[in-house]
Structure 1
Amino acid sequence: MPTRPPTRLLLLADTHVPKRARDLPEQVWRAVEEADVVVHAGDWVDVRLLDELEARSRRLVAVFGNNDHGELRERLPEVAHAEIEGLRLGVVHETGQAQGREQRASALYPDLDVLVFGHSHIPWDTTSATGLRLLNPGSPTDRRRQPHCTYMTATAEDGALHDVTLHRLGLGRPTTP
Structure 2
Amino acid sequence: MRLLLMSDTHLPKRAKVLPDPMLAEIPRADVVFHAGDWVDTETLDLLEARCRRLVGVYGNNDGPDLRARLPEVAYAELEGVRFGVIHETGAKQGREQRCAGRFPGLDVLVFGHSHIPWDTTAPTGLRLLNPGSPTDRRRQPHCTYMTATVADGLLTDVELHRLPPRAPR
Structure 2 length normalisation: TM-score? Answer: 0.97
Task: Give the total of aligned pairs.
Answer: 166
Which residue does 2:97 correspond to in 1?
103
Which residue does 1:63 correspond to in 2?
57
Q: 1:87 aligns with which of 77, 81, 86?
A: 81
Post-superposition shift, 1:33?
1.5
In 1, distance between residues paired with 2:46 and 2:121? 32
In 2, distance between residues paired with 1:77 and 1:95? 15
In 1, distance between residues paired with 2:11 and 2:28? 21
Which residue does 1:153 correspond to in 2?
147
Which residue does 1:130 correspond to in 2?
124
Q: Identity of paired residues, percent? A: 70
In 2, distance between residues paired with 1:33 and 1:150? 18
Q: 2:6 aligns with which of 12, 25, 32?
A: 12
Post-superposition shift, 1:121?
0.1
In structure 2, give the amino acid aligned to 1:126. T
Q: 2:34 aligns with which of 28, 40, 63?
A: 40
Post-superposition shift, 1:104?
0.2
Structure 2 gaps of 5+ residues are none
In 2, distance between residues paired with 1:37 and 1:49? 16
What CA deviation, in whole Å up to 9, does each residue of 1:55-75 have, x standing for no partner? Answer: 000000000000001110000
Please state whether the residue corresponding to 2:83 is helix, strand or coil: strand
In structure 2, give the amino acid aligned to 1:38. V
In 2, distance between residues paired with 1:157 and 1:72? 31
Structure 1 gaps of 5+ residues are 1-6, 173-177
Post-superposition shift, 1:125?
0.1
Matched, 1:166 2:131: no
Q: Which consecutive segments of 4 or more residues in structure 1 shift more than 2 A?
A: none
Which structure is larger by alpha-carbon Rg, 1 or 2? Answer: 1
Post-superposition shift, 1:129?
0.3
In structure 2, give the amino acid aligned to 1:41. A
Q: 2:24 aligns with which of 30, 51, 54?
A: 30
Matched, 1:117 2:114: no
Aligned-residue CA RMSD in angstroms? 0.7
What CA deviation, in whole Å up to 9, does each residue of 1:88-124 have, x standing for no partner? Answer: 0000000000000000000000000000000000000
In structure 2, give the amino acid aligned to 1:108. R
